Amino acid sequence: MAGEKQKVAIIGSGNWGSAIAKIAGINTARHTDLFEKEVSMYVYEEKIDGQNLTDIINKQHQNKKYLPEVRLPENVVAMPSAQEAAKGATLLIFVLPHQFILNTCKALKGQLSPNAQAISMIKGVDVNDSKIKIFADVIQDALQIPCAALSGANIANEVARDKFSETTVGYRPGGREAAEVWFKLFNTPNFRVGLIEDVAGVSLCGALKNIVAIGAGFCDGLGWGDNSKAAIMRIGILEMKNFAQEFFDDVKPQTFTETSAGIADLITTCRNRKCAEAFVKTGKPFHELEAELLNGQKLQGTETAREVYQFLKSRKRVDAYPLFHTIYRIAYEGLEPAKLTADL
């Protein structure tokens, strides 16, 4: 790759995709020795006040729908087709809702630059009975290109407003050099990138934290106070770490206990769990609360709790993860929320 510049494509343009586009656009313009300045961004086309969202982004340099009031660099170019956005790209950033991954990969397969590589910013895991897969592996297998992962304590609106944040890039064994490229693409004085050789750990942090945050929300709903919530988080990070070490190879414990993807993101995610809190206080089921409080958007934690429960059940390992199990039982089986700590 020496001498050839990297060309960046962002596949996805929601709240987080737009925030990361801002950072990538700033850095490709800053490191023109390394990167082509233009960053293409795949935007699912929709009409906003009668205008195409891609046109709004390309003319007004704002994603009015998903990240309003934040100016995107002019070198970020929105395109309504993933194939067009990915054309010639050597660095592909996947930041789509996970249900769109497989179809998007199918559309891109065979169209990519021969030395392309990818990074996944997708939360969640892909569970099929007794099989579990991180999305970095889903992408890597579907496209046959190396795929790293990025996750961290990264509320998109704060990153987009240049508030100090850290993040973590997990790279593959032997992938340190590629990781340094991702570092240069994302690191800024107020968005500090850490590197760790642990794609699975970084990916699982981003998925499993959402289960623990449901438990933290139950604590808030029960009015149990700060000691309880901190205890749930501590027990949660250890179940996350144990789960990753049991079912994935080469996971590093410190990804969970020492990185931004691990403990820091858990702290951030556990701050505001209004749905889980409301679940306890109102007794309403989650699908009703999602409609009322999240505009119908699915809560990631309950979905992941269910998927992880089904996986553990088929592996006969439910009992080894009492916090995950209890959160599942409260969310789906009518267990009294006050029993949250009874089996811990």
Q: Which of 272, 266, 267 is nearest to 204 (CA)?
A: 266
Q: How far is the CB of 260 from a second copy (least distance, A)?
A: 6
5 classed as catalytic: no
Stretch that binds a second copy, among 1-9, 267-275, 302-310, 322-330 (CB under 8 A): 267-275
| Choice from 159, 205, 327, 331 touching a second copy (CB under 8 A) | 159
Identified catalytic residue from 7, 22, 209, 229: 209
228 binds a second copy (CB under 8 A): yes
Q: How far is the CB of 312 from a second copy (least distance, A)?
A: 22
Question: Which residue number, 80 or 322, has a Cβ lying nearer to a second copy?
Answer: 322
258 binds a second copy (CB under 8 A): yes
- φ, ψ of residue 155 in degrees (nearest 5): -65, 120
Site track 103-142 with a second copy (rule: CB under 8 A), x = hit: ----------------------------------------
Is 217 marked within a binding site? no
230 binds a second copy (CB under 8 A): yes
Question: Which residue number, 175 or 215, has a Cβ lying nearer to a second copy?
Answer: 215
305 binds a second copy (CB under 8 A): no
259 binds a second copy (CB under 8 A): yes
Binding site as annotated, residues: 12-17, 100, 123, 156, 271-272, 298, 300
Binding site for a second copy (CB under 8 A): 153-155, 158-159, 163-166, 190, 192, 224-231, 233-235, 237-238, 254, 257-260, 263-265, 267-268, 271, 340-341, 344
- Report the binding-site residues for substrate: 123, 271-272
Q: List binding-site positions for NAD(+).
A: 12-17, 100, 156, 271, 298, 300
Catalytic site positions: 209
